[in-house]
Amino acid sequence: MTDGPYLEIKEVVGGFIHIVANDIDEAVAVAGGWPGIRVGDKIEVRPVMER
């Protein structure tokens, strides 16, 4: 039995934040300073390919 045809809250993406960094290490350092990290939020860092 399920609640309904909608996503569980754990399956929803909270949003996107686009930062400009020189390399992936700098991007990870910026993400590591994000305030939500202290309360257990998860952050994923991905490179964006320019066309």
| Contact between residue 41 and residue 34 where contact means Cβ atoms under 8 Å apart | yes
- Pick the more confident residue, 30 or 13: 30
Per-residue pLDDT band at 9 (split at 50, 70, 90): low
Rounded to 5°, the CA angle 14-41-45 comes to 70
Q: For residue 31, give the nearest of 15, 45, 49, 51 by alpha carbon.
A: 45
Alpha helices in the chain (DSSP H): 24-32
- What pTM was estimated for this model as a whole? 0.59
**For residue 8, what pLDDT is reported?**
63
Express each pLDDT in 26-51 by its tens digit.
999 998 888 878 888 788 898 887 77
Q: For residue 44, give the nearest of 17, 26, 9 by alpha carbon.
A: 17
